[in-house]
Each structure stands twice: as structure tokens, then as C-alpha cells.
Amino acid sequence: MTNERLRSQIAAAGLTVNVLAERIGVNPKTVERWFTKDRLPHRNHRSHSAQALQVDEAYLWPQLLDDPRVQSVSGAELLMLYPHRSNIPADHWAQLIHGTHDRLDVLVYSGLFLLDSQSDLVEQFVAKAENGAKVRLLLGDPDSPAVTRRAREEGLGENLSARIRVSLDLLKPVLERPGVEVRTHSTTLYNSMYRFDEHLLLNVHAYGSSAAQNPVVHLRHVPGGQVFAHFMQAFDRVWDTATSVDAGAAVSP
């Protein structure tokens, strides 16, 4: 049996066996055995391979889905389930933001509630970047069909687009700062994401309900876990299709 998924994904990523092997620190013949003999790599090699190919480990090696050890590790990623976003205390948001040192990622349509509730959030974005963190902020394109559709589904009319424009205005001080990038996207937002280093708050969206009314799942990355990485790969896919915002563009009409 061969692993055609792995073989085709290497080609789709524009890589070769030798390049992938070099990136993850193994012998090229080892990688060849992974797809010619369908060998299951060690956990670290699986993780690094999946990151290099920008896919889930379970896609490359479906047998992982039946592995009780993987299921147990993934279950350990779940820290908390909040029935509504409004159940998360403001000081918990503040603690997560304050404790971030490397990666701070946000995927929302407007995210205005967070800017409103954390009075120094813009300054913190700048400070985090100055201290070496990478800050990526994804807001909805206020003129996109996706935003118009979501506003109609939630009965918000023009309010959602207006809220996005307010958020973009509030974020003007971070634009063009090294380490901080703001982009707008026009994708369907299935989940809002707030990543603070190894922590991820995942605000799921149910049809016809506002984000504040919907549950939030608090995940923490655990080596070998599948869930945190799965959603961050989705974040990266949106990021790659989004449009950078410059200082002149972030002005309300």
C-alpha cells in the first residue's frame, strides 16, 4: 500500500522529497518510505511535515483518527467551553493579551467589542510587536457580499459594515508598524478566532445568532494534538487570500 495523499501533497506544495526531508531533518529515503510503504512517521516528523505541506496530519495519515493516543491528546487541548462569548470575563481577555509574547492572531468581521472592552488594546498591539511578537489582524471587508449576508442573517442591516469601519479607524495607529499587519477578508466566517501564543479562543457561529450569543471554545495547543493546528491552518488560508490595509484606506466614509 502506498500513501498517495502524501505523494500528491508534496507535489502540490511545489516541493520535492529532498526539500521536504531537509526541512524536517530526516533522510530523503525515510520520506520515500512514508509514501512507498505507507510508514507512519514519528510524531514530531508528522507535525513538521504537515506544517510544511499546510495540511492536517490526519489528512496525510488517516489512521491517526483511530489512534486512542491521538484522540486523548486532542481531548487535552480543550480547556473550557463558554456558553456565550459574553460569559468570558474582561480580565480573562486582558490576561491572555498581556501574556502573549510570540503570536497574536485575530480573525473576525469587526471585533469592535474587544477594542471597546480593552481600552489600551491598540497600544498593546504596538508594544507586543516592538518586543518581537508577530501580530496579525483579519477584519471583514465592509463592502464584501459575505459581510452583507452575515448582517442580513443577524438582522444588523448596515450596522456590521459600520462597526468594521470603526474598528479599522481605531486600528490606524498600528498600520505600517513593524510586526503588525492588518488585512481585510471576504470569506464566510464560520468561527471568529483569537490566538494568544498557545491559547485559542474559538467563537463558533450559529445561523441567525450574533457572535456575542454564540459559544466560545478555549483551546490550548498540546504537542501531538490535532484541533488547535487544524483551526490555525484555516486562519492561514484566510490570511493568504486577504488584502493588506494601509493607513490611507482605514478611514470611515
CATH number of the domain to which 58 belongs: 1.10.260.40
Q: Residue 199 corresponds to which cell in the numbers above?
A: 491559547
Mean pLDDT along residues 92-106 = 94
Domain boundary among 66, 84, 105: 66
- pLDDT bin (cut points 50, 70, 90) of residue 40 is confident
Q: Is the pLDDT of residue 253 over 80?
A: no
180-185 sheet: strands from edge to edge: 78-82, 216-220, 199-204, 191-196, 103-107, 134-140, 180-185, 243-244
Does residue 249 form part of some domain?
Answer: no
Mean pLDDT along residues 208-231 = 86
Examine the domain organization and report whether 211 and 143 are in the same domain.
Answer: yes
Examine the domain organization and report whether 130 and 187 are in the same domain.
Answer: yes
Cβ(78)–Cβ(217) under 8 Å? yes
Q: Is 196 exposed, middle or buried (0-12, 13-18, 19+ CB in 10 A)?
A: buried
Q: How many domains does the chain have?
A: 2
Q: State how far the Cα of 173 lies from the Cα of 218, in Å rounded to an integer.
A: 29
Range list of β-strands (E), 7-147: 78-82, 103-107, 134-140
Cβ(20)–Cβ(10) under 8 Å? yes
Does residue 250 form part of some domain?
Answer: no
Q: Which domain holds residue 167?
A: 75-244
pLDDT digit string, tens, across residues 133-170: 999 999 999 999 999 999 988 887 778 999 999 999 99
Give the residue from 82, 35, 30, 96 showing the smallest Cα distance to 213.
82
Mean pLDDT along residues 226-241 = 90
Examine the domain organization and report whether 28 and 140 are in the same domain.
Answer: no
